[in-house]
Structure 1
């Protein structure tokens, strides 16, 4: 079974989605301007500093996933994605450190489809706060 399809994960996503969506839209409406972050700057938002939000990038867009800190914060099942562009890992449905990368090179059509599904989920659940500069 894939780590993305466990009943607990699916339940937690569905049960918190409407609350997070309203919080996301509230936050988005108060955002003054999006940030441009280098990959190094993005690492500062990995959840280890409680005074900073937690960010995950997907296809170069940076999402504030702080409302999902139980998943993305220290000790969370997806903490390895925090402060990084997790595009490749999401496409491959992998937690392998070697797959946590913005590179889409060599991904299959199916993997690109999986990544697009994840991008849609992030867009629906978390506010976009910026982009990663290459």
Structure 2
């Protein structure tokens, strides 16, 4: 009976440790400041966006079909969230999932450029710098 109790305790501790590892180490977060221009009805205006990119570890594919998620902020204007990104080489393709899956833009991990058809209107194109 004591052996069975030890096995149950070890299994429970192992499950807790595994859950802790998955919960704390399933994504790598990067923050960027993206300076560029937004084109609205043919007019281009300078714009700065702040971006938080969470890239998922390979095991996240067991329960999700997304490779990353993206938070965007235009200070004092709006915030936005994209939950479905697909990694194609060094490029992350950014999708809107509601009401249907539609490609909105891309982010290059190589050149650190963001090209995105913003949900609030306009096409953003700019270069991003890593923030600490």
TM-score band, normalised by shorter chain: under 0.3
Larger C-alpha radius of gyration, 1 or 2? Answer: 2
Superposition TM-score, scaled by structure 2 size: 0.25
Higher relative contact order (CA 8 A, sep 6+): 1
Q: Give the helix-richer structure, 1 or 2.
A: 1
